[in-house]
A and B are shown apart, each in its own frame.
Chain A
Amino acid sequence: MNFSEQADVVVIGSGAGGAPVAAVLAEAGARVVILEKGPYYTSADFIHDEVKICRRDFWVPYLDDEPHTIRKSEDVPAKRTRSGWTSACVGGATVHMSGFFYRLKPSDFRLAEMTGGIESAQIADWPISIETLLPYYDMLEARIGVSGRAGVNPFEVRDRPFPLPPLRPHPSAALFDKAARSLGYHPYPTPRAIASRVFGQRPPCNYCGLCGDYGCENASKSSCLVTFIPAAEATGRCRVKARSMARRVLVDDTGRVRGVEYLDAQGKARTIGARVVCLAASAIESARLLLMSQSSRFPHGLANNNGLVGKNLTFSTLGKGTAVFDRREIIDRVGLRGMDLPFFQRSVQDDYWMEGTGLSLPKGGTYNFILEHPNPINAAVRLAAGERWEIFGSEFKDRLRRHFLEQLTVEFEIFGESLPWNGSYVDLEPERKDRYGLPVARITARNHPAADEVNVKMLERGMDMLKAMKPAAESTSAWTWRDTTYHLQQGTCRFGTDPARSVLDPTCQAHEVRNLYVTDGSFMPTSGGVPSTATIMANSLRVADLIRERFLRREV
């Protein structure tokens, strides 16, 4: 094959899955090219403009340009949606993440063994144990800067301190600690991928509180954009090609990867040859790219002769709960100082495993307690929705004023297993194409009923913790809702030892395609009880080491 360019390694996607691989291999001496379909933002782009950044598709493609489609089941038509994207920009979703950075636990790796299977779920155990990943979690935290306090969470798996002390919590967190402990829970400071002190050349967090959905212009949030990407470029051996859309992975007759076909920033079709291709475009988009890369050897899509690419799609987040407190009452109890700090900083993992609860899936996950996001438009719209849109006019205006000036809203989100099953998968839309002329990804997804059951139970318990803070009865309202968000996505190219039951081997190399790796959340056979970002990054560091060793042994 003739290529217009050549590299040792091409990485598709510059987020949690791709950036660590690019940095490690460039540091080891490989020539690396990153193909990122989105733009290369800088801190000058990260303004605090709620409309532009949070409400006008700043992070995801325009619906008319590149839709996904989504349906709850095969009985209904799939509709166009903005859902199912991580982020299209250099650094990926780590640029606008809130940075909640938890490790997996041993039970996450052995869900099939520990449950004996769940009816109609397609659970598979991980082909590695947590011991394999632990040194990479340590390496990741030390390298990018993760803040927290070890020794408080009795359920954590770590043997050393965090490299940075925890962020300062809102004073009301002390009330939460008392309340949660009175119910037998063990609240602890939430670990964050945010620098709480000077870290390398990055300043400490300035507590603006806009981590979620915004880029951090301060570079305190430990996104790939301010960690692995500059490290990769500093080697002089890594080129980041932004606005470059990979559309096909190329293989030769022996089933070995050869390169990537992509559209450059001007829309011109180009090819780049590579000895190794690492795909990390998100579980949904990586599956899509493999399904599109059909050939005579792979008529159902690259690495898909066993039909598993796109299957077993899972997500991390389940429900949310909210409680509203009277600000003056909180001030009476904890004082005025610190009342405008933005972070609640409390997590609870007592319900990671929930035996004796009568649940068919006796596995919960993590409660992450937070304050309401500071975005005023979002809070106002939620207020209107919370009143079921029944209140408008001066009564609503007064409600709005009082919400911001007189209330404190504490929330929690649940991270848990959505369970892989044949009800959730990704495939290609038969007709619909995006602006590149490529078939769009169709998402079929709903929670497995056992996951919904766990969600309901955890919502009750989370609300119990909030209610135990004993807000004044007249001033409190509470509501819960079930929700699945589609940002944190996994499963579509699960790894495993058996080529008949997995797409990737335990090193994340495709069983059927030599030198093709997938390092985004696709590899995870189950979603685990925490958001997947930290795990994707740690695993990427692990896979990067393995690829480097193969280069050194001249196996590539």
Chain B
Amino acid sequence: MRVAERKRGQSMKHTRREILAGLAGLGASSLVLPRIASGELPSPDEERPFGADERRTLSAAEERLLPGAVEAGVPEYFDHWLPHRSFHLVLRYMAHGARHLDGAARKEHGKPFAGCTGAQQDAILKAFADGGFKAGKFDGSVFFRQLMELTLEGYLSDPKYGGNRNRAGWRLIGIPDGLRSCWWNPNGVEMVLSPDEGFQD
């Protein structure tokens, strides 16, 4: 694991990126509903509803971002949330980004994104992430962050939303039953004394 001691100049740059990613608040939550400028959305002529192509592209991208995402139901999580009333901008933006991913793949490899190899897909995603893909006001790096954030939501949220199937995400990070309701370890292994036992602070 590398040491990354960030100097003040770097941390300021870090600040702008974090603000772009939508991180706010006192550390407990980031708000996914995007800070998307209207200029980044497709114009009415180029807009299509979210269809099978877009879903296929995004599912392939989710799987590259987080291996196991498809099996864990992240595409189903997107199916649950993207049609939500408060998500109409997100829906359009994800569809738009999916079409740009396909456009980049066709240009580089003559195939849609889902038809490319993993390495080819990674290269395209990396170009988006690094800010190397821009089309008008569409910024691939903003789209990448949004996609990553939604993928992580799909992987680590309550399974009732369609993702985190079989609690795959929670099991990976050691909380098979999700956010606990109290201090004791629900698996029955006594890790912690009762909060008062032998305690004097």
Segment touching B, from A44-52, A121-129, A273-281: A44-52
Least CB distance from B192 to A in Å reads 6
The contact of B27 among A167, A338, A372, A392, by CB within 8 Å, is A372
Contact A48–B179 (Cβ < 8 Å)? yes
Contact A380–B31 (Cβ < 8 Å)? no
Measured between beta carbons, the chain A residues less than 8 angstroms from B135 are none
Within 8 A of B (CB), among A292-349: 317, 320, 336-342, 345
Instruction: Check: A479 CB closer than 8 A to any chain B CB.
Output: yes
| Identity of the chain B residue whose Cβ is nearest the Cβ of A165 in the assembled complex | B201
Contact A478–B183 (Cβ < 8 Å)? no
Contact A479–B125 (Cβ < 8 Å)? no
Contact B26–A389 (Cβ < 8 Å)? no
Q: How large is the interface on B (under 10, 10 to 19, 20 to 34, 35 or more residues)?
A: 35 or more
A149–B15 alpha-carbon span in the complex (Å)? 36
Segment touching A, from B4-12, B39-47, B98-106: B4-12
Contact A64–B3 (Cβ < 8 Å)? no
Least CB distance from A447 to B in Å reads 12
B-contact 0/1 string along A36-50, CB 8 Å cutoff: 000000000000111
The contact of A377 among B68, B152, B191, B193, by CB within 8 Å, is B152
Measured between beta carbons, the chain A residues less than 8 angstroms from B68 are 397
Measured between beta carbons, the chain A residues less than 8 angstroms from B27 are 212, 320, 370, 372-373, 378, 411, 413
A403–B195 alpha-carbon span in the complex (Å)? 25
A483–B64 alpha-carbon span in the complex (Å)? 32
Contact B21–A376 (Cβ < 8 Å)? no
Contact A413–B201 (Cβ < 8 Å)? no
A57–B34 alpha-carbon span in the complex (Å)? 12
Instruction: Check: A155 CB closer than 8 A to any chain B CB.
Output: no
Residue of B65, B156, B169, B178 with highest tally of chain A CB at under 10 A: B156
Instruction: Check: A535 CB closer than 8 A to any chain B CB.
Output: no
Q: Contacts A393-B67, A479-B14: A206 and B25 contacting too (C-beta < 8 A)?
A: no
| Identity of the chain B residue whose Cβ is nearest the Cβ of A212 in the assembled complex | B28
Instruction: Check: A153 CB closer than 8 A to any chain B CB.
Output: no
Q: Contacts A375-B28, A478-B6: A210 and B179 contacting too (C-beta < 8 A)?
A: yes
Least CB distance from A315 to B in Å reads 12
The contact of B14 among A57, A393, A481, by CB within 8 Å, is A481
Instruction: Check: B133 CB closer than 8 A to any chain A CB.
Output: no
Least CB distance from B198 to A in Å reads 9
| Identity of the chain B residue whose Cβ is nearest the Cβ of A376 in the assembled complex | B156
Contact A340–B183 (Cβ < 8 Å)? yes
Q: Contacts A49-B158, A340-B183, A389-B17: A481 and B28 contacting too (C-beta < 8 A)?
A: no
Least CB distance from A366 to B in Å reads 14
Segment touching B, from A352-360, A424-432, A468-476: A468-476
| Identity of the chain B residue whose Cβ is nearest the Cβ of A341 in the assembled complex | B192
Contact B86–A51 (Cβ < 8 Å)? no
Within 8 A of A (CB), among B134-153: 141, 144-145, 148-149, 152-153
Given contacts A51-B153, A212-B27, 7 further A-B contacts (CB under 8 A): A55-B32, A82-B33, A213-B28, A213-B29, A384-B148, A397-B172, A456-B8
8 A–B contacts from the bound complex (CB under 8 Å): A51-B153, A206-B183, A381-B30, A389-B144, A393-B122, A477-B2, A479-B6, A483-B15
Residues of chain A whose beta carbon lies under 8 Å from any beta carbon of chain B: 48-52, 54-57, 62-64, 82-83, 98, 149, 165-169, 189, 196, 204-210, 212-214, 317, 320, 336-342, 345, 370, 372-378, 380-382, 384-385, 388-390, 392-394, 396-397, 400-405, 411, 413, 456, 473-483, 485, 487
Residues of chain B whose beta carbon lies under 8 Å from any beta carbon of chain A: 1-6, 8, 11-12, 14-15, 17-18, 21, 23-33, 64-68, 86, 122, 125, 129-130, 141, 144-145, 148-149, 152-153, 155-158, 161, 169-170, 172-175, 178-183, 185, 191-193, 195-196, 199, 201
8 tightest A-B CB contacts, nearest first: A207-B183, A54-B29, A206-B182, A404-B173, A213-B28, A48-B179, A373-B28, A212-B28
